[in-house]
Amino acid sequence: MAEPRRNLWARFLALPNESLTKTLGVAFLVALVSATTVSFTAIALKPRQQAQLDAAREEQLAGMIAALPGLANILRETGAESLQQVVVDLDSGAIDPDIAAADYDFIAAQSDAALSIALPPEADIAGIGRRPNLAPVYLMRNADGLALVVLPVYGQGYQSTIRAYLALEGDLDTIAGLSIYEQGDTPGLGARIAEPEWQALWAGKSLTDAGGAIAIKVVAGAEGPNEVDAITGATYSSGGVGNLVRFWVGPMGYGPFLARLKAGEF
């Protein structure tokens, strides 16, 4: 069989260079060799490429958290060593493995009827009208386990939408910090919700009472572990923050996810 193959190859090489058969044959051989080389290179370099992608992802996430207003200090205080960003199904509390957190547009989903649900008035204490089906969550861990959970939250203020990050300690009940990064309420009054001094009042407060019911609230003359002092002259704005926090840690917000996280499912 070897001799006929050599003769066939010799006849092929003997064809004139302008021969269509020879042109197509050479093109095919070049394509075959190139494809084989590319495939081999891709397989050989895959572990190195994956390592580079993982490193780039970690760097991106670290940079993202560092850029979250007011949370860099909270992160340092908890001693968190690793960061995981996930997208959560708010109805079931499950992590959606099919959606890359970096690609999910949480703000766009808030007004997209295909990606959100209309809230009944009695449940809409945050005044948002619609609630996205999915929401991002940041999980930070240290050597002892879960150190911090950061929840993007938002709601209606006096005359604007208030957007913030709510950080919970590893027990998922103690507030580690609240960072309001967007609001448009009245300067000198409602806008004071963005002042570090008022936001600092949230740290150390408990979301729930002794019976496990959500009890965090904003009141004048706060005293208890579930109370944050209202801003004088800006009751509606500061109360709006309390309402949005209550909503997002409740059953229509991140409540189902927090319950499953507390049960050790994730």
Residues 142 and 199 both lie in one domain: yes
Predicted confidence at residue 16, as pLDDT, reads 79
Give the span between the Cα atoms of 241 and 68, in whole angstroms. Answer: 18
Q: What is the mean pLDDT of each run of 10 residues along the chain (266 residues)?
A: 60 74 76 75 66 54 54 60 86 94 91 97 96 95 87 92 92 92 83 89 94 95 93 90 97 97 91
Predicted confidence at residue 73, as pLDDT, reads 61
Residue 78 lies in a domain: yes
How many Å is the Cα radius of gyration of the chain?
28
Residues 95 and 9 both lie in one domain: no
Residue 64 lies in a domain: no
Give the span between the Cα atoms of 8 and 86, in whole angstroms. Answer: 60
Predicted confidence at residue 227, as pLDDT, reads 96
Residues 49 and 75 both lie in one domain: no
The H or E element that residue 142 is part of is: strand 134-142
Predicted confidence at residue 15, as pLDDT, reads 75
Residue 16 lies in a domain: yes
Residue 82 lies in a domain: yes
Residue 115 lies in a domain: yes
Residues 40 and 170 both lie in one domain: no
Cβ distance 166 to 153 under 8 Å?
yes
Residues 102 and 28 both lie in one domain: no
Neighbouring-strand partners of residue 228: 218
Q: Which two tokens stand for residue 180?
A: 């309001």
Phi/psi at 85 (5° precision): -110, 125
Residue 174 lies in a domain: yes
What domain count does the chain have? Answer: 2
Contacts of 84 (CB under 8 A, 6+ apart): 61, 138, 139, 140, 141
Q: Which two tokens stand for residue 118?
A: 């209309």
Predicted confidence at residue 144, as pLDDT, reads 82
Predicted confidence at residue 246, as pLDDT, reads 97
Give the span between the Cα atoms of 48 and 122, in whole angstroms. Answer: 54
| Domain enclosing residue 133, as ranges | 71-262
